[in-house]
């Protein structure tokens, strides 16, 4: 039975308490193409669903290290479960921190903070500015976590008389709309190789009115709620930490499983177990150490930025570049570890229903995400080189 989350508790331990349930429900979630109701209910009953929120929205405001370790644990259990963790939890974190007071009261307070959010924050929509808000239209793909979300987030460009509204930095303003599920048209599209259980549906809205109080700036680092450094760092670092931790969690599950398998795994026409092979031993040591190094890099990059902000410093372009480059690197390392574990396990890893088989599909699906693409690493390097002074998307 999972313990309820309270002040001072380790969020990772609450997630760890779901291991048996997630293992039992993983296949059903894949068949449903969205997280099973039993898992979603337990996330609520345990307090995990609101854990990353500001205190005012029922959360405990964990540190970056605590968030990262929680996401690693969730993804270790199941890739789809971990992906829900990096979709639903940051979405509610951002909305709870950055919505204006009236919007927070409507979305969170009026619902007793029992609010699940998913969706796509990239501004694929347009919002015509009207009295009191925006008329939003657009279509979004890969709305992770929308299969069980009461509210759906949708990024958009505000338009004044058909022209993009410009921000102070000279770039188009980008906002996020928080829209009730009933006003969303789901077009599905989630028939994929991996991460099948995430309910990452395509969706659209057609000329839907969204009041200003249910929107917030995409790159906001000025919270209306919450006191943790994370709320003053914005959604981009939290999302980046989530992607890196997710990849590390899936990779660790595969490394752990192939290590457990090694003593009893014999190849055809080979009398030696996998564990007794010097090449396996060497490669296991290499990939476990690579995994550990990538984890430490993530904890260092995000912890350094968090400490700077906690100390009153600005979140500089260099700190943001360090975090984003670390997330790309950790994802690349994790994918390499997963690929080796899959090959080393032989035919065991190709059988449907095993964690090795599912993890392999998941890692190659999740690591396709644009948020940890080579373009991000290039942008970070250009900051380091002085070619760019800043890249707001980092």
- The pLDDT score that the predictor gives to residue 6 is 56
Regarding whether 179 and 78 lie in a shared domain, the answer is: no
Q: Domain end: 61, 78, 111, which one? A: 111
174/263 Cα distance (integer angstroms): 54
Same domain, 244 and 381: yes
The model's pLDDT over 280-301, given as tens digits with 9 standing for 90+, comes to 999 999 999 999 999 999 999 9
Residues 6+ apart with CB under 8 A from 12: 66, 69, 70, 73
Q: 3-state SS of the chain: helix, strand, coil percent to 5?
A: 55, 15, 25
d(CA 347, CA 349): 5
**Residue at 225 is within a domain:** no
**Which pLDDT does position 2 carry in this prediction?**
41
Interacting residues of 248 by C-beta distance below 8 A, sequence separation 6+: 72, 75, 291, 294, 295, 298, 330, 334
Query: How far, in Å, CA of 164 to CA of 146, rounded?
Result: 28
Residues 183 and 52 grouped into a single domain: no
Write the CA distances from 49 to 29, 39, 112, 187, 274, integer angstroms: 17, 11, 13, 26, 40
Residues 134 and 238 in one domain: no
Per-residue pLDDT tens for 117-164? Answer: 999 999 999 999 999 999 999 999 999 999 999 999 999 999 999 999
CATH of residue 305: 1.20.140.10
What digits encode the pLDDT tens for the residues 289-342? Answer: 999 999 999 999 999 999 999 999 999 999 999 999 999 999 999 999 999 999
* Helical (H) or strand (E) element with 145: none
Question: Based on the structure, what is the number of domains in the chain?
Answer: 3
247-282 per-position pLDDT tens digit: 999 999 999 999 999 888 777 667 678 888 999 999
Same domain (yes/no): 123, 195:
yes
Under 8 Å between Cβ of 257 and 90: no
State the Cα–Cα distance between residues 90 and 84, nearest whole angstrom. 10
pLDDT tens digit sequence for 170-195 = 889 999 999 999 999 999 899 999 99
Whole domain around residue 213: which residue ranges?
117-217
Please tell me the distance from the alpha carbon of residue 16 to that of residue 23, in angstroms, as a whole number.
11
Domain check: are 142 and 279 in the same one? no
20-52 pLDDT, tens digit each: 999 999 999 999 999 999 999 999 999 999 999
Reply yes or no on whether the pLDDT at 3 is more than 70: no
**Burial level of 259, CB count in 10 A (0-12/13-18/19+)?**
middle
Q: What are residue 215's phi and psi, to 5 degrees?
A: -135, 160
Give the pLDDT confidence score for residue 168 in this predicted structure: 82
């Amino acid at each position: 039975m999972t313990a309820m989350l309270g002040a001072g508790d380790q969020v990772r331990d609450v997630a760890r308490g779901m291991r048996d349930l997630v293992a039992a429900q993983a296949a059903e979630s894949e068949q449903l193409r969205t997280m099973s109701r039993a898992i979603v209910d337990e996330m609520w009953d345990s307090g995990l669903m609101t854990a990353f929120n500001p205190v005012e929205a029922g959360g405990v405001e964990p540190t970056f290290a605590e968030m990262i370790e929680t996401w690693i644990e969730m993804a270790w259990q199941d890739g789809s479960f971990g992906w829900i963790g990096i979709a639903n939890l940051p979405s509610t974190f951002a909305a709870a921190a950055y919505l204006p007071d009236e919007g927070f009261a409507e979305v969170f307070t009026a619902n007793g903070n029992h609010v699940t959010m998913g969706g796509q924050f990239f501004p694929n929509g347009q919002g015509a500015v009207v009295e009191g808000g925006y008329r939003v239209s657009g279509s979004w793909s890969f709305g992770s976590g929308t299969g069980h979300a009461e509210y759906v987030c949708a990024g958009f460009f505000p338009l004044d008389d058909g022209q993009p509204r410009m921000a102070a930095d000279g770039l188009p303003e980008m906002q996020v709309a928080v829209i009730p599920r009933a006003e969303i048209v789901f077009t599905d599209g989630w028939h994929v190789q991996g991460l099948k259980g995430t309910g990452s549906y395509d969706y659209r809205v057609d000329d839907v009115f969204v009041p200003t109080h249910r929107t917030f700036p995409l790159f906001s680092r000025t919270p209306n709620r919450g006191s943790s450094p994370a709320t003053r760092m914005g959604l981009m670092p939290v999302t980046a930490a989530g992607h890196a931790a997710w990849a590390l969690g899936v990779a660790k599950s595969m490394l752990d499983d192939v290590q457990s398998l090694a003593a009893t795994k014999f190849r055809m026409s080979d009398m030696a177990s996998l564990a007794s092979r010097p090449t396996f031993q060497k490669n296991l040591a290499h990939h476990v150490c690579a995994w550990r190094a990538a984890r430490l890099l993530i904890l260092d990059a995000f912890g350094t930025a968090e400490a700077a902000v906690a100390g009153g410093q600005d979140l500089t372009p260099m700190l943001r570049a360090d975090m984003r480059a670390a997330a790309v690197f950790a994802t690349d390392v994790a994918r390499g570890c997963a690929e080796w574990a899959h090959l080393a396990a032989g035919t065991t890893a190709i059988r449907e229903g095993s964690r090795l088989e599912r993890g392999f599909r998941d890692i190659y699906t999740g690591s396709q995400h644009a948020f940890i693409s080579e373009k991000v690493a290039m942008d970070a390097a250009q900051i380091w080189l002085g070619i760019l002074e800043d890249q707001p998307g980092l």
